[in-house]
Structure 1
């Protein structure tokens, strides 16, 4: 407010100066009074500097940097700095930055982070900006993907990726062992956890350091690895009301025991802490989101493909990843909203479709997504991604998810160190997680 009044006063003084000096003043420097005022006002205007946060690998960051460069060209008065934060640390660091008023202006959010930030009132309502702009084509976004960001008539974010978890498999290893691939078994209606374990045992070769399967991308991100396993066996993390821990059941014990046996009994899965990756060529099957294709496409040493998750007694239990863009409570909400609209536009999603499953109908229902890259094939994408979305589920959220997540991860260490049994771990989780859900 003070700065605005000063600018007004300067403009008024310059205007008075121009009036009292007459036409001769303008003739002396080639400008008139109003021109001088305009130049003075432009000279003191500051550039808007935005910060945009994300997680992801180098290829995904480079893609976003390209989009940001385009945005800056369209908005020459705005500079955007990209902040990359590891996913495992993202929610905690973002919470700290928001509390200390050093947060980015806009950024990515995963489904588990959204309830906490909505509860704390740290997201900006963007409903008017996206619905009121006819060039944004808000109706092009699948309505169901917006539910997690909605509160009555308010809207706090736009999804840009809704990928199901799926199986990446090393085709060369399957061929070497004479095994049917997960894709072939799926087409035959036989792709289930029995066949999954048979393949894992056949593929495992201790002498060559080859494991049949790896469910874990990051040992500190248990939910992506284990929720599909729980759900496929009929187990739930929370009860239907979302107020009680519900995993300590026979179905939950069976699923967690299967995970433990893969590591310590059958030895078909790397041990806790082992950072062996699928792109090393020494993992037969690996579960991850579709976004992992950004790394898999760089593989040249072996052939690979994707397939749906195997089925249990309760179906595949496929979890649907979710990532959206939100504007945070910072200094430049209007400019940040423009950046959000650009990053989630149909044009931008045609670019991001090479790694992310778009939430816009015009992109997902066209060949743009199916043929965004040479691998995987359109048929594999149809089977493993598009055909699974309808039955996939978004991971449950909670306003205290950060604490719940940390607690479950800590208690899983009892399983990883073999200092506790599956029953013991689940019983302790029930005791220590329930108080966090109140």
Structure 2
């Protein structure tokens, strides 16, 4: 992600601008004719239709809320839209937030504590929220966002391409007990050599979104910074090994696209990609057989990377009481189950194959079980830094300049990456 706006104004300015936006400062709006706004980074018609249905159900029982508008934007626009709206006094009431932004927004005082409303809402079952999956959003007894989507990055693969090329598929390697990044690299090159099609494309990456490489980092025991996000570890031997494999696929094997090369797995142009469960909607009209498997293991074992997004109420919004009440409604057990066909829930009672498959015509219990296993056992949430906007911008920029290049001296290159991000941690 590119957080250009926050990086430009600086984290200090953000904190100062938000410090005054406490619950007592923002207006509650009129007692009726409340209009709620929520930003989200999906424009998928099925996602939007479901959120509209939930909003209609809420308004039917809350006549004081006359409209709920969902504003679609892209993830790389999110911080610009939110901070510009806050500065202009036109902030939305609620928003999706990626877990990478959790610490930064909480520290800046930008989010409302939802815990009192959630705990007092009849039938909400606050204790059903899996504690380990709430950690990034809780500070003491306060809860500043409710994860509505917590799921592992998984690997989708085009079974027909592997079969037609006579190359082992990811499922075949799993059956042989050899599902590692090294073995995946081998079959990716074999597929590319046989068909001319890239064996692997990282979805939603385009060499600008470092988080999409986290499964590879974790498999090798690496991370761009230490556990408390105080020091860079991007130059560790583990990270160097991970990037050697990735750069090898891109620049040596030709089995993964080079920077600037556009490849669409969903359109049948690659053997495999890594993405979230919500991407299954892109395969609704697929003309090829496909499957889902966990991401490969590595020297550090099988540690799946969990992405997470939460719904949060903004302190700068105008309708605190209604926003928090709608947040509780959106994330209650019933609606979390409705959303689960696209977004893996963080409720213990809902992490079942029946719920995740739901009414989907393309998902099966066998396809979603790896996601449940990763969420409850082998999963680890993405790294989070408090100064995330500036850190992410510097990390993406330095990786682009020093690492994602042919014949990179990775020892030197990753040292340059740490030089760029260490002062920001």
Give the TM interval when normalised to the shorter protein: 0.7 to 0.9
d(CA) in 2 for partners of 1:307, 1:45? 50
Tell me whether 1:407 sits opposite 2:416 in the alignment.
Answer: no
Given candidates 160, 176, 195, the residue that maps to 1:188 is 176
Corresponding residue number in structure 2 for 1:265: 252
Corresponding residue number in structure 2 for 1:218: 205
Once the two structures are overlaid, the 10-residue window that deviates more, 421-430 or 246-255, is: 421-430
Deviation, 1:46, is: 4.8
Corresponding residue number in structure 2 for 1:137: 125
Alignment map for 1:119-268 (pairs within 5 Å): 119-204=107-192, 210-219=197-206, 221-268=208-255
For residue 283 of structure 1, give the secondary structure of its aligned residue in structure 2.
coil
Deviation, 1:381, is: 1.3
4+ residue segments displaced more than 6 Å = none
Deviation, 1:291, is: 1.4
Corresponding residue number in structure 2 for 1:347: 334
Tell me whether 1:300 sits opposite 2:281 in the alignment.
Answer: no
d(CA) in 1 for partners of 2:344, 2:359? 11
For residue 80 of structure 1, give the secondary structure of its aligned residue in structure 2.
strand
Corresponding residue number in structure 1 for 2:299: 313
Contact 1:212 1:285 in 2 (8 A): yes
Deviation, 1:419, is: 9.0
Deviations 1:119-172 (A, max 9, x none): 111111111111012221212221222221111121111111110011000010
Corresponding residue number in structure 2 for 1:336: 323
d(CA) in 1 for partners of 2:301, 2:89? 45
d(CA) in 2 for partners of 1:309, 1:77? 47
Contact 1:60 1:294 in 2 (8 A): no
For residue 285 of structure 2, give the secondary structure of its aligned residue in structure 1.
coil
Given candidates 44, 51, 62, the residue that maps to 2:37 is 51
Deviation, 1:343, is: 1.0
Deviation, 1:97, is: 2.2
Corresponding residue number in structure 1 for 2:24: none
Kindly indicate whether structure 1 or structure 2 has the higher relative contact order, using CA contacts under 8 Å at least 6 residues apart: 2
Tell me whether 1:426 sits opposite 2:408 in the alignment.
Answer: no
Contact 2:152 2:276 in 1 (8 A): yes
Once the two structures are overlaid, the 10-residue window that deviates more, 187-196 or 391-400, is: 187-196
Contact 1:305 1:376 in 2 (8 A): no
Deviation, 1:179, is: 3.1
Given candidates 63, 68, 75, the residue that maps to 1:80 is 68
Once the two structures are overlaid, the 10-residue window that deviates more, 399-408 or 213-222, is: 213-222
d(CA) in 2 for partners of 1:250, 1:99? 43
Corresponding residue number in structure 2 for 1:391: 378
Deviations 1:177-236 (A, max 9, x none): 233332232233211122201210121158x65111112423265333211111211222
Tell me whether 1:102 sits opposite 2:60 in the alignment.
Answer: no
d(CA) in 1 for partners of 2:329, 2:226? 38
Deviations 1:223-267 (A, max 9, x none): 332111112112221123320000102221121122112111110
Tell me whether 1:325 sits opposite 2:311 in the alignment.
Answer: yes
Deviation, 1:401, is: 0.6
Deviation, 1:99, is: 3.0
Contact 1:306 1:376 in 2 (8 A): no
Given candidates 64, 73, 79, the residue that maps to 2:51 is 64
Identify unmatched segments of 5+ residues in structure 2: 1-29
Corresponding residue number in structure 2 for 1:114: 102
d(CA) in 1 for partners of 2:70, 2:227? 38
Contact 1:115 1:399 in 2 (8 A): yes
For residue 97 of structure 2, give the secondary structure of its aligned residue in structure 1.
strand
d(CA) in 1 for partners of 2:350, 2:128? 9
d(CA) in 1 for partners of 2:364, 2:353? 15
d(CA) in 1 for partners of 2:308, 2:282? 19
d(CA) in 1 for partners of 2:52, 2:74? 17
Deviation, 1:428, is: 1.1
CA separation of 1:45 and 1:433: change in aligned 2, threshold 3 A: closer
Deviation, 1:289, is: 1.3
For residue 211 of structure 1, give the secondary structure of its aligned residue in structure 2.
coil
CA separation of 1:347 and 1:240: change in aligned 2, threshold 3 A: closer
d(CA) in 2 for partners of 1:321, 1:405? 15
CA separation of 1:194 and 1:258: change in aligned 2, threshold 3 A: closer
CA separation of 1:421 and 1:94: change in aligned 2, threshold 3 A: farther
CA separation of 1:133 and 1:261: change in aligned 2, threshold 3 A: same
Contact 1:166 1:289 in 2 (8 A): yes
Identify unmatched segments of 5+ residues in structure 1: 1-43
